[in-house]
Amino acid sequence: MRYVMIAMILVLGAFAVFQYNDPDSAIWIGLYGAAATITLIALKSLGESASVLDLLIYNDAALLFLIFAVWVWPSDGVYWLESEEKRESIGLLITSAWMVVLLLQASRNTKAT
């Protein structure tokens, strides 16, 4: 799991870097930077019993990324490669799913101890 977390830190960091020329770059860099930071914290505490606060952070982050993905998703029928909003939503869905993985990993570590 350690290598997967390192890979996701790099992926989320790349997501943040690729937003530098976006008109609303501060929002996206902040979101992906926060996800990378949460993953870095999870990596540092890998194998330890997760606190209730850790579980709440993973849970709330997953929920917020999911809500934001649904909110950004456009209602038009445009192909996803041609719609910036759909591409942004897909990135948020990936990030939300990753937060769920972190939540499951942390809750598994908590139950094991």
The confidence score (pLDDT) of residue 51 equals 81
Per-domain residue ranges of the chain: 2-112
pLDDT at 112 over 60: no
Q: Residue 81 and residue 57: Cα distance in Å, rounded?
A: 31
pLDDT at 33 over 90: yes
The confidence score (pLDDT) of residue 70 equals 86
Residue 71's pLDDT band (cuts 50, 70, 90): confident
The confidence score (pLDDT) of residue 72 equals 81
Length of the chain: 113
Determine phi and psi for 21, rounding to 5 degrees: -100, 10
Q: Residue 90 and residue 36: Cα distance in Å, rounded?
A: 17
Owner of token pair 């029928």:
77
pLDDT at 37 over 90: yes
The confidence score (pLDDT) of residue 5 equals 94
The confidence score (pLDDT) of residue 30 equals 93
* Neighbouring residues of 67: CB distance < 8 A, sequence distance ≥ 6: none
* Mean pLDDT for the stretch of residues 12-32: 89
pLDDT at 79 over 70: no
Which of the residue ranges 1-5, 63-67, 79-83 would you say has the lowest mean pLDDT? 79-83
Q: How far is CA 13 from CA 16, 22, 34, 59, 64, in A?
A: 5, 15, 10, 21, 19
